[in-house]
């Protein structure tokens, strides 16, 4: 039996390099921002308000920690808010809702703009290095 040299790892990291991931998130954010702004221009006040609401809404999950007694350190989210924060910051949720909207065909431009803005919020967070949280409330590596 031969030994595996110390320089070879038995596990592989299948993640893309950080710069490539960030570039992808930035490109996605720019696309979503342009699309959401176009929706605001085409559909008016309701879509503009939905754009603002969609950019803010995912971080309202911080309010789930109101009344939390656990001490937290800098950069840590209280444990009570983590499940809500992670649910609101998963890209596939607004993406699936956008797909359902497109297939269902309702004429609610403000809802569509809200979903675009929600995905934009997530893309901006990811590009800035803020990802999902661990159970302890810290940003996952």
Q: What is the pLDDT of residues 71-89, one digit of tens each?
A: 889 988 899 999 999 999 9
- pTM (2 decimals)? 0.84
Which contacts qualify for 103-112: CB closer than 8 Å, 24 or more apart? 109/39, 109/42, 109/43, 109/46, 109/47, 110/43, 110/46, 110/47, 110/49, 110/50, 111/50, 112/39
Percent of the chain topping pLDDT 90: 66
Q: What is the pLDDT of residues 36-52, one digit of tens each?
A: 999 999 999 999 999 99
């Amino acid at each position: 039996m031969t030994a595996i040299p110390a320089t070879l790892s038995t596990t592989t990291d299948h993640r893309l390099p950080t710069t490539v991931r960030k570039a992808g998130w930035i490109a996605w954010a720019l696309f979503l921002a342009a699309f959401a702004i176009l929706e605001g221009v085409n559909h008016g006040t309701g879509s503009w308000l939905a754009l603002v609401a969609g950019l803010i809404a995912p971080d309202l999950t911080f309010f789930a920690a109101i009344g939390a007694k656990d001490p937290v350190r800098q950069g840590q989210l209280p444990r009570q808010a983590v499940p809500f924060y992670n649910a609101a910051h998963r890209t596939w949720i607004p993406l699936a809702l956008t797909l359902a909207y497109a297939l269902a065909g309702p004429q609610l431009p403000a809802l569509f703009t809200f979903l675009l803005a929600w995905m934009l919020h997530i893309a901006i967070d990811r590009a800035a290095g803020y990802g999902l949280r661990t159970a302890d409330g810290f940003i996952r590596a």
